């Protein structure tokens, strides 16, 4: 059983988290406690993304679509969640994920760093960084895991285990000399020296020597920690592991992000559902209780490209992973939360009729019974889905049903930018299992920290010997 020594300064930050989030309510003494918590984060999964993915999945099953529900929409507890950063009205993933992992509203671009303590986690810094869920979980003897379809060193997964002044410090070559001189470590090195039990995702380039900018292989560093530390680099090698044996597993399945779900090669690229299943199998076998974070990271990337097709199909895959997790765990012991770190400027509009293909041209049936595309002020058809901003200008030659529903079609935008941006509106938090009764109302996402910590009853966890 792993333990973590928490300094008095670090422990004082636990109460500080309550003050910073300002939404914390005491956990009733008679509230059932969770043995395990699984936090699913759909990166960029705005309300409109959920709506469109719901319709898309329903239509893929032969329904009109609007009446359909994604798996997690059946969860009994729902809340609206604010996403602003300490210094940003529209947030980024580093600040939002840090808030969820520490209970502290955090600045944009920083990983678990508070103003005035930018060197937290570095060798020459005497002040402790904010206490994270993983610190309390491991101090209480729980196991921990991370799954991501993005690089495992990307902002959302990094916030589970790392401290970094910049989310860009993923590998050694990304580190400024000043940070290295005071003993700051890149995010990848922080992972392989952490007590995380299983970490599965992309981002191999940050761990291999030379490609990470040093002659040290972090993969070797991981496996040399002991006979129980094992490594997988493709679907086949992951399946070959005895995941129920209690081994410590590092899986890196691509140099950068994993492929979008529809682009993956099944023989080589594990799906998010398969990675989630592997992590749960490994953690359940320990029988210690656990905290697991699962990120569908590529929803965000598809939105940035204004590619609605891949954003929706990766959201559907997240819903499949959630369903698998629910079926693989005891609902009386496991708190499952599903949320997003932030939204995107993704819209559903234009008065299409019920059952109109969600990726298609907006159409209605006229009085003569003819189903016709609706037209804009210039007399041209348009799609139901679009983006407020992004890199793409309208190409009227592509406005056919087949073209706009193709995998590679990029939706129209109204404000020209190099990349589509995040949005600042609230996202949704869904919850089921012990502790999920606190998922209600409206609050900042920093409260997710409190919900998890109190559900596991680990707020006061510390080394006593």
Q: Could you confirm whether 455 is annotated as catalytic?
A: no
Work out the angle at residue 264's Cα, subtended by the Cα atoms of residues 310 and 40, and round it to the nearest 5 degrees: 60
From 46, 48, 71, 93, the catalytic residue? 93
- Structure tokens belonging to residue 124: 């020459």
Count other Cβ atoms within 10 Å, centred on residue 463: 9
Dihedral sign from CA coordinates of 67, 72, 78, 82: negative
Q: How far apart are CA 168 and CA 279, in angstroms?
A: 26
As annotated, the active-site residues are: 93
């Amino acid at each position: 059983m792993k333990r973590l020594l928490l300094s008095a300064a670090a422990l004082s930050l636990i109460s500080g988290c309550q003050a910073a989030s300002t939404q914390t309510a005491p956990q009733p003494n008679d509230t059932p406690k969770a043995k395990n918590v699984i936090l699913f984060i759909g990166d960029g999964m705005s309300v409109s993304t959920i709506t469109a993915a719901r319709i898309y999945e329903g239509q893929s099953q032969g329904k009109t679509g609007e009446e359909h529900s994604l798996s997690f929409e059946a969860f009994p507890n729902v809340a609206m969640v604010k996403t602003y950063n300490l210094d940003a009205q529209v947030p980024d993933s580093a600040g939002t994920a840090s808030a969820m992992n520490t209970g502290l509203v955090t600045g944009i671009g920083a990983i678990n760093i508070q103003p005035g303590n930018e060197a937290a986690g570095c060798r020459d810094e005497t002040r402790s960084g904010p206490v994270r869920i993983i610190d309390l979980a491991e101090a209480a003897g729980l196991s921990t895991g991370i799954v991501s379809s993005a690089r495992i060193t990307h902002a959302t997964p990094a916030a589970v285990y790392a401290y970094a002044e910049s989310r860009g410090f993923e590998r050694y070559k990304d580190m400024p000399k000043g940070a290295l001189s005071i003993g700051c470590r890149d995010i990848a090195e922080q992972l392989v020296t952490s007590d995380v039990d299983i970490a599965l995702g992309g981002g191999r380039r940050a761990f291999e020597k030379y490609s990470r900018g040093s002659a040290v292989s972090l993969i070797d560093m991981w496996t040399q920690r002991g006979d129980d530390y094992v490594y997988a680099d493709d679907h086949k090698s992951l399946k070959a592991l005895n995941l129920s044996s209690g081994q410590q597993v590092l899986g890196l399945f691509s140099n950068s992000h994993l492929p979008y779900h529809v682009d993956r090669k099944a023989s080589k690229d594990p799906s998010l559902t398969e990675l989630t299943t592997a992590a749960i199998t490994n953690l359940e076998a320990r029988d210690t209780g656990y905290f697991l974070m699962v990120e569908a990271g590529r929803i965000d990337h598809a939105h940035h490209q204004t590619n609605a097709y891949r954003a929706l199909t990766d959201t559907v895959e997240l819903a499949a992973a959630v369903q698998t997790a629910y079926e693989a765990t005891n609902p009386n012991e496991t708190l499952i939360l599903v949320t997003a770190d932030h939204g995107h400027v993704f819209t559903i509009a234009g008065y299409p009729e019920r059952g109109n293909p969600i990726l298609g041209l907006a159409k209605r049936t006229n009085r003569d019974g003819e189903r016709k595309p609706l037209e804009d002020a210039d007399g041209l058809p348009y799609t139901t889905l679009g983006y407020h901003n992004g890199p793409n200008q309208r190409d009227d030659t592509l406005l056919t049903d087949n073209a706009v529903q193709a995998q590679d079609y990029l939706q129209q935008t109204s404000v020209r930018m190099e990349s589509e941006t995040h949005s600042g509106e609230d996202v949704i938090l869904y919850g089921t299992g012990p502790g999920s009764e606190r998922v209600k109302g409206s609050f900042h996402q920093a409260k997710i920290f409190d919900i998890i910590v109190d559900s596991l009853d680990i707020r006061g966890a510390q080394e006593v010997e």
